[in-house]
Structure 1
Amino acid sequence: MTENVGSVAQIAVYPVKSLAGRTVGEARVGPAGLVGDRAWAVVDATTGERVTTRTAPAMAEVVATGDGEADTITLTEVLGLPVRLVRAEAPQGDAAAVHLVSRSAIARAAGGDVPEGCSADDPRANLLLALDDEQDERTWVGRNLRVGEVELSVSRTPKHCLGVYAEVRTPGLVRVGDRVEVLTP
């Protein structure tokens, strides 16, 4: 049995950790999350240390093109620091495979309900959801969802972000407009 709670309004993939995301009409979701999401990291070309938005906030404004050489040149210019991209051995999601945020959460954040350290302007969600009235994704922790062909297990709310984190139970394809259903045990 399922309860339809809304639909997918937007899908974003973040190919390079800490850079801006790209919106797509559909995404393949594997066991570790959206295919290609956070597959690359930026490192200081001199020291080999990872560079993130904590130390280089301008990174968040750069959208990866998918061309490693072009992205490296752009980042070096923007940061004023020689950098290179390195392929991650595993996806680099800091907390879970998929990050879901509702438009309702963004509206709550605009009203002041924002976790400390969170950007309400850019919640960095993989799936932006348009939920029906009275729905709050935070109530889904511990429950399973079906989004398109994908089944997710909502694991927790993030400490410094809006929405919820989920692990992948059944891989598949998710598209903008797909229904979001809460599965009942």
Structure 2
Amino acid sequence: MGEVVGSVGRIAVYPVKSLGGRTVPEAAVDAAGLRGDRAYAVVDADTGERVTVKSTPQLAGVVATGDTEADTITLTEVLGRPVRLAPSSAGPQVDAAAVHLVSRGAIERASAGDVPEGCSADDPRANLELHLPGGVDERDWVGRRLRIGEVVLDVVRTPKHCLGVYAEVQLPGRVAAGDAVELLDSGAGAVAPA
């Protein structure tokens, strides 16, 4: 048993990498992350190159519907050029780790000006938004293990250009809004920011 340090306030799945996310009441979490998360990428229809939010910020304003044909039409109209959605055969297309967690406190600190370069306080693009009591900072969990719902996560690093922390899945299962966040005694070794 560990120490309960907070709860899950919101769960977000991003079906298409770089697009806006959808809030869900619960999610299945596999070894590679939340099921259905970042399962597709936007690619240029002519060149086949990936189109990302870093090079094309208007992607973040589009929320995937789950209908790849409709999403492709919308994206082509928004971007003014032909694109297509490419499925990932290797699981979620994440940049650094399977699950991205951020606390409400981190979002509030960012809104007050404590924002890493290149990060958005308005949309940290995290999978799990956590409610932690005053003074608890998820960045202190690097190298520790968490249990959230049925899922056990090793917190492995802080993002270089984003809020919160990244974690790898040690025990898959389900997580739901309202689930307790339990800090366990052991976990992964610390890793430098990605």
TM-score of the superposed pair, with normalisation by structure 1:
0.98
Matched, 1:182 2:146: no
Any gaps of 5 or more consecutive residues in structure 1?
none
Write out per-residue CA displacement over residues 115-167 of structure 1, whole angstroms, 9 at most, x where no aligned residue. 01100110000000000221000000000000000000000000000000000
Cα displacement (A) at 1:57: 1.0
Counterpart for residue 66 of structure 2: 66
SS at match of 1:42: strand
- Map residues 1-185 of structure 1 onto 2, 5 A cutoff: 1-90=1-90, 91-185=92-186
Query: In 2, Cα distance between the equivalents of 1:89 and 1:95?
Result: 18
Distance 1:107 1:54 in 2: 23
Cα distance in 2, alignment partners of residues 115 and 75 from structure 1: 29
Letter in 2 for 1:80: G
Question: For the residues of structure 1 that align with 2:67 and 2:108, how far apart are their CA atoms?
Answer: 35
RMSD: 0.7
**Identical-pair percentage:** 72
Q: TM-score, normalised by structure 2?
A: 0.94
Residue 27 (structure 1) shift: 0.2
C-alpha deviation, 1:54, in angstroms = 1.8
Using the TM superposition, give the Cα deviation of residue 174 of structure 1 relative to its aligned residue in structure 2, in angstroms. Answer: 0.2
Shift in Å, 1:30: 0.2
Aligned-pair CA distance for 1:89: 2.0
Aligned residues, how many?
185
CA deviation vs aligned residue, 1:79-99 (integer Å, no higher than 9, x gap): 001000010122211000000
Secondary structure (helix, strand or coil) at the match of 2:73 reads helix
Code of the residue aligned with 2:184 in structure 1: it is L
Deviations 1:99-123 (A, max 9, x none): 0000000111112111011001100
Moved segments of 4+, more than 3 Å: none
Distance 1:39 1:144 in 2: 26
